[in-house]
Chain A
Amino acid sequence: MTQEFILETRGLTKQFRGFTAVDDVNLQVREGHIHALIGPNGAGKTTVFNLLTKFLPPTRGEILYRDKPITGMKANEIARMGLVRSFQISAVFAHMTALENVRVALQRPIGTSFHFWKSERTLEHLNERAIELLDEVGLRDYADVLTMEMPYGRKRALEVATTLAMNPTLMLLDEPTQGMGAEDVDRIVELIRRVAKGRTVLMVEHNLSVVSRLCDRITVLARGAVLAEGDYETVSADPQVREAYMGSEAAIEEARA
């Protein structure tokens, strides 16, 4: 079963002063899938996410990327391996233009990022590639705009372009549609579908309609543990999941319709 799973966790556990936020989670993400991590509030989704991206150290357990343990690695190191994350609140560099945002992601591999004696004009050969990436997310016309002046939905698209600049094999998206209006949600769903081709995506998502439209496989977390796993049909029919989501059952029905 080697190479089948691009990302795997074994007995992943995180405790905060005796409180177990994540309890013995065994997660398997298949190469090429769009995999969703869902669950009611406080289920530990964001904690799992932060463990996977190394923003938090686990108390116990192992994380494997292509069968190689990455448990002890640093956040910036796994980013270089192609596991690139996004953030719940749009993570952009506000006082830089859209183009500069993308260029920051492109400049690291050329190896001059510590060169404080060189002009930033030495980075201009990256502009063309940066504009291509902006074009890919429909932001070509924004290349020159300061990010802080862009509307929210566009900032999220810019974040995707910046992430793509890293040429990720596995994209980890933390609630990519959070705080968006319906129109923006549709645009981002389309965007994710498009950029996920040839890649693997693991996303935390609240919006079940997004999950049902996009995801190949779903893991449901509740109280820090895996409650159910499968495709949308399987998971949404699971009585335990329905119970965990009690009150938001209507949301499931709505998404199905």
Chain B
Amino acid sequence: MATTQTLTPSMKRERRASLRRNVFYLVLIAIGLVAPFVAYPVFLMKVLCFALFACAFNLLLGYAGLLSFGHAAFLATGGYVTGYLLASYPALTPELGMLIGTAAAVVLGAIFGALSIRRQGIYFAMVTLALAQLVFFFYIQAPFTGGEDGLHGVPRGHLLGIVDLRSNLAMYYFVFAVFLFGFALIQRTVHSPFGQVLKAIRENEPRAVSLGYNVDAYKLVAFILSAGLAGLAGSTKTVVFQLASLTDAHWHMSGEVILMTLLGGVGTLFGPVVGAGLVVSLQHLLAQSPLGNWVGPILGVIFVICVLSFRSGIVGEAMKMYRKNFK
């Protein structure tokens, strides 16, 4: 063999597939660039923020096999910290505010992770839920969050002190760039040496231990990454909507992100994006229709149908069908 590296046929196939995937990504990016001229930018930004949130959650559930029931805490922390800083210090540029908000979520993620990562299955979910509730009650009481009223009038400011984000179009492209960054980071993480170990741990944890891996440390890193990206989603959302509220910290939000991820397809890269798009669109459409009060039950029914009839979610099922028919 001419090369120094040995590649098996499946790896060569994988290389060709990755070329096709890159073309697919380019098409999607093009769609994303044109989208604000077709649809309402604020709506698109909401979809992108929740898509990033769901992707962050999926990194943990889909690739590390950990079901967190407390991810609202990270979304809210990113949002509140960024919102408070930008509202109080007008000199601060939005990207710095978002950076600090994300950093706060990373720190919170490290604390949550350190306390919960040794627990398995349902106990892990319970510990994360309890911690997130603690954070929720803290935000109700804390003076800087505006309690039940929320934090209003966060200025969008000028990106890097130059680009005026008051324009929805400029804001949209910034949000799109943030989303792409988050998505690319997750994609890379999944297909990295770290991702390989994570996969091994998910497949057979005792075996990974017997190969010398300190599995808790790997899970903790995945948890912190996920928390940080959820915080980034929250920070971005706060800048877009110029407010941070208790809705983001409520356990409903932790549930909603599970719903989005499962609906779209857990453990697939695009599943959470599709799931978030679907849930946000439905909420948006139903809120305007006479069925406005029925958003919850309707989403519930869709969720039940989804879980019962196509378990791997929309993207998961589509991929299965593709493999069956085209390979």
A, B in one complex: yes
* Contact, CB under 8 Å: A107 / B210: no
* A76 in contact with B212 given A87-B206, A116-B221 (CB within 8 Å): yes
Q: Is B288 in contact with chain A by the CB < 8 A criterion?
A: no
A95: chain B residues at CB < 8 Å are 199, 203
Chain A's closest residue to B3 (CB) is A124
Is A76 a contact of B5 with CB atoms below 8 Å?
no
Residue of chain A at shortest CB distance from B221: A114
In the bound complex, how far is the Cα of B154 from the Cα of A24, in angstroms? 69
For the complex formed, measure the closest distance between the CB of B227 and the CB atoms of chain A, giving whole angstroms: 14
Interface residues on A, range: 35 or more
Q: How far is the CA of A164 from the CA of B310 in the complex (A)?
A: 41
**Do the beta carbons of B211 and A162 come within 8 Å of each other?**
yes
* Contacting residues of chain B (32-77) with chain A, CB-CB under 8 angstroms: none
* Size bin of chain B's contact surface: 35 or more
- Chain A, residue nearest B205 (CB): A91
B192 within 8 A of A: yes
In the bound complex, do residue A97 and residue B206 qualify as a contact, i.e. CB atoms below 8 Å apart?
A: no
Classify the interface of chain B: helix, strand, loop or mixed: helix
| CB contact under 8 A between A97 and B10, given known A76-B214, A103-B196, A119-B188 | yes
Of all chain A residues, the one with the shortest Cβ separation from B197 is: A113
The residue from A91, A92, A108, A117 contacting B213, defined by CB atoms under 8 A apart: A108
A164-204 vs B, CB cutoff 8 Å, 1 = contact: the mask equals 00100000000000000000000000000000000000000
Indicate with 1 or 0, residue by residue over B203-242, a CB within 8 angstroms of chain A CB atoms: 1101111111111011001000100000000000000000
Bound together, the chains give a CA A125 to CA B10 distance in angstroms of: 16
Whether the pair B215, A96 counts as a contact (CB closer than 8 A) is no
Asked if A226 is an interface residue, CB under 8 A from chain B, the answer is no
Output the residue of B11, B188, B211, B214 with the most chain A CB within 10 A.
B211
Question: Which residues on the B side are within 8 Å of A99 (C-beta)?
Answer: 8
Cβ–Cβ < 8 Å partners of B217 in chain A = 114
- Residue on B nearest A106 in the bound complex, by CB: B211
Residues of B within 8 A of A162 (CB): 211
B200 within 8 A of A: yes
Q: Is the CB of A115 within 8 A of B204?
A: no
Cα separation A170 to B189 with both chains bound (whole Å): 34
Is A214 close to B, CB under 8 A? Answer: no
Bound CA span A127–B200, Å: 17
Beyond A115-B194, A127-B5: 19 further Cβ-contacts under 8 Å?
A75-B210, A80-B212, A91-B206, A92-B204, A93-B207, A94-B203, A95-B199, A107-B193, A117-B189, A117-B192, A119-B191, A120-B192, A120-B193, A120-B196, A125-B5, A127-B7, A143-B8, A144-B10, A166-B212
3 tightest Cβ-Cβ pairs between the two chains A and B: A116-B194, A91-B207, A79-B212
- Residue pairs across A and B with Cβ atoms less than 8 A apart, 23 shown, are A76-B210, A76-B213, A76-B214, A84-B211, A93-B207, A94-B204, A96-B200, A97-B10, A104-B211, A107-B197, A108-B211, A108-B213, A113-B213, A114-B217, A117-B188, A118-B194, A119-B188, A120-B191, A123-B196, A124-B7, A127-B6, A127-B7, A144-B10
